[in-house]
A and B are shown apart, each in its own frame.
Chain A
Amino acid sequence: MLSSIVFLPALGALAILLLPRGRDQLVRHTALAFTFAAFVLSLVLFALFDRGVSGPQFIEKYHWIPQLSVRYFLGVDGLSLPMVILTAMLGFLSVIVSWGIRQRVREYFIWLLLLETGVLGVFTALDLILFFLFWEVELIPMFMLISVWGYAPPLGRREYSAMKFLIFTILGSSFMLVGILTVYFSTGTFDMIELARTGIPHGVLPLAMIFFFFLLGFVIKLPVFPLHTWLPDAHTDAPTAVSVMLAGVLLKMGGYGILRINLSIFPGQAQQYSGFLATVAVISILYGAVVTVRQRDLKRLIAYSSVSHMGFVLLGVAALKEVSLTGAALQMFTHGTITGLLFVLTGLMYDKAHNRQIPELGGLAHYMPVIASGFAVAGLAALGLPSMSGFVAELLVFLGAFPIWRATTIAAVFGIVLGAGYILWMLERAFFGPPNVRYAHAGDAGLWEAVPMVVLIAVIMGVGLYPAVITDVINSAIGPLAGRLG
């Protein structure tokens, strides 16, 4: 079951590879069919998931390299299931978003599907080596997608941005690899569940050092200040669907890794350095928000807002309490949907208006009411309006973090005013005001184009109005984890 979800996109890529050249429409439909199947299966997984069980479910465990006790070990628990659903959903939607790609259609979809498999693998792997392999597998498609299909000068610097993304991530993952190996040499196992249960009795290196090796790999991905500058470049220069995947799910690999490895395997170190994490979190929240306010490029603005929003994930993590950790996990899911939606809409808007510079837009609500309404809803969700999922996540983070990090949390709360500031100012400048005749013939979203928007808004509102549908799942894994963290 899990393997089929993880490898369906890759299978789709293989199928596309075997298709005769020049059948672009068939390529698109194939990609759509395979990602849709993976999405549906992920929902089946959600339906079958037993919320009363704390450990991983749907386990698939086979010996792979027995000499090294490396195993093919997949499973999902409350932490990974929302991420799997998110990835499968955005993977499916990004195929729809990519419908208008005209350049090297075959290759584009092959990479896009491989990317999805890589990310799904990260969220389901329970063996450290397998985890690392998926982590690295995701890099190559991403590099290709940005550097080939991204925005070339004068609109962007796709090679530079792709390279920057690659170097940053490799920097992180090389530390992570060292971490994985020291863990292995200390305990003789790569089994993440086993490691979380027993901990590391004595390491070949100081445990704090291993903790930071992993942490570095993850916070680069998250990202946090001052390791964030790859993110605005990569997001801005990537094609729309890739921005959606990048912001929607790739950043979450960082947060997921921290929860799955740093907190689960190193609870002692997590407690010891939680103050450091909280400080980094609040700096990212406020600094990210402030720099967001200054942005003029719509895509860059959304990209920077992610730095701020992912700071809430880290703040929730730093408090190490059940409520805040659940908030952090929910924030990852909800940010994936909200920012995914914002990038989808930005892409649509750009396709019509051929401009992303906010000061040059204005009055777009007249000519593209559907896109403008979608932007308003997504923006309100991003600024944490109640009835949308972002509110619940931020509230849980705040409620959980306040008793532990009081001053830090109060400072972080100011982030929501800044959030309201940059979102509403952006809406005012880009969409409100008198109609600008320059965009009179830009047109609005078509029916098919509006599908991703409708799906994402439904998920955002659904979780916002009845969060228990997903917090119950998250809680089944977070509860025991929080218990271990004392």
Chain B
Amino acid sequence: MPSELAWAIWLLPLAAFVVIVFITKPYPRISGYISIAAVLASLVISLWFVAKVYNSSDHHVPVPSYHWLTVGNFSLDIGLTVDSLAAVMLVVVTTVSLLVQVYSQGYMHGDHGYSRFFAYLSLFTASMLGLVLANNLILVYFFWELVGLCSYLLIGFWFDRPVAAAAAKKAFIVTRFGDLGFLIAILALFMSAGSLDISFLNDWVKAGAAGSLLLTWVALGVFAGAVGKSAQFPLHVWLPDAMEGPTPVSALIHAATMVAAGVYLVSRMFFLVDATETGREMVAYIGGFTAIFAASMGLVMFDIKRVLAYSTVSQLGYMMLAVGLGSPVIAMFHLLNHAFFKALMFLGSGSVNHATGTFDMRLMGGLRKAMPITYGTFLVAALAISGIPPFSGFWSKDEILAHAWEENRALFALGLVAAFMTAFYVFRLMFMTFGGSYRGGEQGGHGEHSSHPHESPWVMVLPLAILAVPSVISGFANLPGLNWFGRFMGEDHFASFNWSTATASLIASLAGIFLAYLMYQVKVVPATALPRLLPNIYKAMYNKYGFDTLYENVFVSRVLYRGIFALLGWFDSTIVDGTVNGVAYLPVGVSSVARRIQSGQVQAYGMAIFMGILVILAAFLLRG
């Protein structure tokens, strides 16, 4: 098969989107099937490309590109890159998308926007795959914005709910702040390098042609884009609100794929980050800080999806930390593992919601018996994210911590604390949701049988079971000593397994689980211990450290909308336009002319023009 087939990977879901919008919209079931068939085909082609990349000597399959636009010194060929980095993402995106879409057939059953939902999912999948494959920063930015659009459309999918509409807008605008940095970095790179082809830029940076100041700023700009997309501090505020979207969307876009695009971008542009000390440190510290900062908010939330959202932000921070420490390969390894177990957890939370009609863990409990498969698979994911061997999260998290131990002890400490928090909040979630006895669910809520919860239909349970498999085994891909994943990514040197950091992180995780057990399962330690002992810290965490208030109520509402913007609005209508009216009406002469013309005598105007022309003509003729 020719390598042009790479185009089909993203064009097939795009075609599905077009077909659904224009043809099959009135037939929901068929729309769903078309969408699923397209992503299945993309998955198969992606796997074929993985094999091709694996077999090629330089981990890269060339794909012919096409000319798109030439204007002056700006010329743009659009082309695709299939290398090991892209191949990993292709597998993640197509697999998770496929499973999420299968699941959505059950979760979205009967929704009057069913076809529209699958159309958006197809468009998202196409854009995300395009983003992964793009070989040029303009093209990356193109798809970068399109996945943002899909995120907007899907968060606001139930647009009649004001919270959903507001959350969608917030997500788009907050990420756009990051995109500003990305766009300016693109402009600066084009100005200095003259091209935006990524492999060209790679050579250009490595040849040392650029000044370090420029590189620092450009790396900062690209990273700003990644901070927005991957919801890193201080642009993390949109992701928890994004949970207003349907749960399959949270699993696909806001856990496994789109939010990981920021990590993917800094890994793809690692040569930029790596070019300066400042660039690396910035990524590492923002990542490390976000890991612990977000995890701390996850400790106190009661909404199951919000806990998972903060968990996602925290885990993405872990990945950023890995990139900043100089190892995008490890970051990608964690991204791969995280995509599966986090998608599993979100889909599991959707299954729980399907049964109980609520996302509030205070209304759940005791679901272990009623929903054995959801429980079992969720437990696998919980063990994976907590870093309990042999589940997948253990291996990648441990590599990050081992790496941090060698590079920077402070960052190691952050990572270790985050590991403890992660284990605690995940098992808090497990015990509150599945342990104890059922607390009744939401009365009259979304769920069909909230008084007697039962297991979800097979289309929802099957994807959970399938996702449980990689949550157990995907960590083996980079078993110490074998390092298949690392070799596939083209890394040659591997550190040996670090027993002491592994032990430390395992102890931290077990301590977190044990504490959660004491507080939420056997209840030896009261769950109110934290609010009682440290009321201020608890309040700060519960209020998300006040960032929503600061951004929305203080900055946007007070400073901008009712401050600067209102002032300029007043300035425009009173000063600028007032001057215009004053000039027009104050002098008697002007106003009388105005009045005369206003009475309808446009002839007077025509006459004036005519006279003017006559005068000019006369002047000219006299002049000879």
- Show the binding face of A for B, using Cβ within 8 Å: 68, 136, 140, 143-144, 159, 163-164, 166-167, 170, 177, 181, 185, 225-226, 228-230, 287, 290-291, 293-294, 321-323, 326-327, 363, 365-366, 380, 385-387, 391-392, 395-396, 398-400, 402-403, 409-410, 413-414, 416-417, 420-421, 424-425, 427-428, 431-435, 466-468, 471, 475, 479, 482
Contact = CB atoms under 8 A, between A and B. Distances in A.
Contacts of A410: 184
B295 interface: no
Given A409-B187, A428-B165, A434-B161, 6 more contacts: A177-B612, A322-B73, A402-B187, A402-B190, A416-B176, A424-B173
29 contacts: A140-B606, A164-B580, A166-B605, A170-B605, A185-B623, A229-B572, A229-B576, A290-B569, A291-B572, A293-B565, A321-B72, A322-B73, A323-B73, A326-B72, A392-B69, A396-B71, A396-B74, A399-B187, A413-B180, A413-B184, A413-B187, A421-B173, A424-B152, A431-B159, A433-B161, A466-B68, A467-B69, A468-B69, A471-B71
A165 B173 CA distance: 35
A163 to B, nearest CB: 5
Nearest to B623: A185
Contacts of A435: 160
A417 B612 CA distance: 47
Contacts of A185: 620, 623
Contacts of B145: 385-386, 391
Question: Do most interface residues of chain B lie in helix, strand or loop, or is the interface mixed?
Answer: helix
A482 B74 CA distance: 14
Interface of B: 68-74, 138, 141-143, 145-146, 149, 152, 156, 159-162, 165-166, 168-169, 172-173, 176-177, 180, 183-184, 187-188, 190-191, 561, 564-566, 568-569, 572, 576-577, 579-580, 584, 594, 597-598, 602, 605-606, 609, 612, 616-617, 620, 623
Nearest to A330: B71
Contacts of A226: 576, 579
B172 A386 contact: no
Given A387-B146, A413-B183, A326 B71 contact: yes
A433 B597 contact: no
Contacts of B564: 290
Contacts of B580: 164, 229-230
Contacts of A391: 142, 145
B165 A323 contact: no
B160 A363 contact: yes
Given A323-B72, A399-B187, A434 B146 contact: no
Contacts of B623: 185
B71 A432 contact: no
Contacts of A164: 580, 584
B162 A68 contact: no
A400 B72 contact: yes
A322 B75 CA distance: 12
B604 to A, nearest CB: 12
Nearest to B192: A403
A287 B190 CA distance: 28
A400 B191 CA distance: 9
Question: Do most interface residues of chain A lie in helix, strand or loop, or is the interface mixed?
Answer: helix
Given A386-B142, A420-B172, A435-B160, A163 B180 contact: no
A471 B594 contact: no
Contacts of B565: 290-291, 293-294
Given A428-B166, A468-B70, A402 B191 contact: yes
B132 to A, nearest CB: 16
Nearest to B166: A428
A228, A386, A434: most-surrounded residue (chain B CB, <10 A): A386
B8 to A, nearest CB: 18
A433 B163 CA distance: 8
Contact of B72 (A181, A225, A420, A479): A479
A434 B71 contact: no
A167 B598 CA distance: 11
Contacts of A143: 602
Given A291-B572, A386-B146, A413-B183, A322 B71 contact: yes
B74 A399 contact: yes
Contacts of A228: 576
A315 to B, nearest CB: 13
Contacts of B160: 363, 365-366, 432-435
A433 B183 contact: no
Contacts of B579: 226
Given A398-B183, A402-B187, A434-B160, A424 B141 contact: no
Contacts of A409: 187
Contacts of B138: 395
B143, B146, B569: most-surrounded residue (chain A CB, <10 A): B569
Contacts of B165: 428, 432-433
A323 B71 contact: yes
A164 B565 CA distance: 25
A166 B597 contact: yes
Nearest to B564: A290
Contacts of A287: 568, 572
B71 A387 contact: no
